[in-house]
């Protein structure tokens, strides 16, 4: 076991503040690496110390592995926490940490390699006996046509190294396959430097359900599942735990499959195994594993009572899990809304700028994860999320009611947010009934636009 005393946080925004909060509770010092645009951020003020990694552009700061390692070593840190996004699943960073004598608060380089390439990850799922969406890889149009003929239309083209919807294209008929394949490969090359793609059958009515894994390399546990089906352009907006309206057999199947996958690859750290639930067939398929803390981790914390960042740090120190599956119980229901700086009524146009007033209510069962304070700047260079509102209650209906109250009165002046979208979602009887699929939001948006104030 190697105790950690000072953590270098290689990230920004609310996740940086979130890690600092737990580190403080554990009595640990923190050093935050920022870009020049974030030098006056809340995280920089809360950390024990802050250092500027480079200019505003991510490639020159948050994605600069050399700068991260140099700053972590130069400030006497024992470990690096990568948060989510940026370098959080980067094998090169994990290897560089090891070479520099730093603890990477995340999985091993081998774990990252196993899940970072989607084709390799699919191969591990097959070996672990985890169901896969019918599909196959394709490097030419002829190969793509052969796979599409075998699995049937509609299909999805996905980037092997991708995520966040980049390099992803839906194809409904053979005539569209060639053009869409070319666009997907070009997008993948531009976004990830890797133009490899593969094809999957498109599930017409599907839900996005994921399972939280906690593993010390010997004991593999799940902390329940989350439903992340409310999405816009493959970006999650609302997440909840547990997933509503799943049959007991399907729920248990998802949990068992996630544990089997993590155990098969010898996973060590926190991670999330993501699945696509095929609603008409009442079955599920492996999508991918995210080898990091998730944006939506607070809903799991709410229903389990765990501090997942603290678990992550303890595992990185080499501590064995004190938990057992039987005593990891879920209580109540939690829902999270991602508040983004964007204008719903102007095609979600980003709304960077200075926040002149930031206020969130104090309500029973409400948690707010944010880096917003009066005077805070929202730079145009990064993700537009400014806060996460998480409500926990004995029932799903009570969690929804708490979020509705919070969204009605919270204030972020100086910018425009997507709060009206969340209010519409929470008030919609279809959402309130539970179990919406990934096409849900696309159907709701036209009605919201017509009701523009």
Q: Which of 425, 232, 237 is nearest to 338 (CA)?
A: 237
Query: Which of these is catalytic: 226, 251, 292, 338?
Result: 292
Instruction: Calculate the CA dihedral of residues 43, 47, 53, 57 and round it to 10 degrees.
Output: 0
What length is written for the chain?
453
Cβ contact 135:287 at 8 Å: no
392 by DSSP, 3-state: which? strand
Angle CA 31–2–88, to nearest 5: 50
Q: Are 229 and 438 in contact (CB under 8 A)?
A: yes
Is 387 strand, coil or helix?
Answer: strand
Residue 346 neighbours by CB distance under 10 Å: 12
Judge whether 21 counts as a catalytic residue: no
| Rounded-to-integer distance, Cα 428 and Cα 445, Å | 12
Residue 435: how many CB atoms within 10 A of its CB? 16
Question: For residues 422 and 287, what is the distance between their CA atoms, to the nearest angstrom?
Answer: 26
Residue 115, classed as helix, strand or coil, is helix
* Alpha-carbon Rg for the chain in angstroms: 21
d(CA 13, CA 3): 26
- Cβ atoms of residues 335 and 238 within 8 Å: yes
Q: Are strands 49-54 and 29-35 parallel, antiparallel or unpaired?
A: parallel
Q: Any idea which residues carry the catalytic annotation?
A: 292
């Amino acid at each position: 076991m190697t105790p950690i005393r000072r953590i270098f946080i290689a990230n920004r925004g609310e996740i940086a503040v979130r890690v600092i909060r737990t580190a403080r509770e554990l009595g640990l010092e923190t050093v935050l690496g920022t870009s020049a645009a974030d030098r006056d951020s809340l995280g920089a003020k809360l950390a024990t110390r802050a250092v500027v990694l480079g200019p505003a552009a991510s490639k020159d700061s948050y994605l600069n592995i050399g700068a991260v390692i140099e700053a972590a070593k130069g400030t006497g840190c024992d470990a690096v926490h990568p948060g989510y996004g940026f370098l959080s699943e980067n094998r090169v960073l994990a290897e560089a940490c090891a070479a520099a004598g730093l603890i990477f608060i995340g999985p091993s380089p081998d774990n990252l390699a196993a899940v970072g390439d989607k084709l390799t990850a699919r191969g591990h799922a097959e070996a672990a006996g985890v169901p896969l969406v019918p599909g196959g890889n394709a490097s030419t149009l002829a190969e793509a046509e052969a796979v599409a003929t075998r699995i049937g239309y509609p299909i999805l083209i996905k980037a092997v190294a991708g995520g966040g919807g980049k390099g992803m294209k839906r194809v409904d008929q053979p005539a569209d396959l060639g053009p869409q394949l070319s666009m997907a490969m070009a997008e993948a090359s531009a976004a990830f430097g890797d133009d490899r793609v593969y094809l999957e059958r498109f599930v017409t009515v599907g839900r996005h359900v994921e399972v939280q894994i906690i593993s010390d390399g010997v004991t593999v546990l799940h902390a329940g599942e989350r439903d992340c089906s409310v999405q816009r352009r493959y970006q999650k907006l609302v997440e909840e735990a547990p997933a509503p309206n799943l049959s007991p057999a399907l729920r248990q199947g998802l949990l068992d499959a996630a544990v089997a996958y993590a155990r098969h690859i010898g996973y060590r750290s926190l991670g999330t195994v993501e699945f696509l639930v095929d609603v008409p067939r009442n079955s599920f398929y492996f999508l991918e594993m995210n080898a990091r803390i998730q944006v939506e981790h607070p809903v799991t914390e709410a229903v389990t009572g765990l501090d997942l960042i603290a678990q992550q740090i303890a595992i990185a120190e080499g501590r064995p899990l004190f938990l057992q599956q039987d005593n990891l119980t879920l209580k109540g229901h939690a829902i999270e809304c991602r508040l983004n700086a964007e204008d719903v009524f102007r095609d979600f146009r980003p709304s960077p700028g200075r926040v002149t007033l930031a206020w969130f209510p104090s309500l029973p069962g409400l948690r707010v994860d944010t880096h917003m304070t009066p005077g805070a700047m929202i730079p145009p260079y990064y993700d537009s999320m400014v806060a996460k509102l998480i409500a926990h209650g004995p029932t799903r209906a009570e969690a929804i009611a708490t979020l509705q109250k919070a969204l009605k009165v919270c204030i972020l002046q100086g910018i425009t947010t997507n709060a009206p979208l969340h209010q519409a979602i929470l008030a919609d009887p279809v959402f309130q009934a539970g179990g919406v699929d990934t096409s849900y939001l696309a159907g709701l948006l036209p009605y919201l636009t017509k009701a523009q104030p």
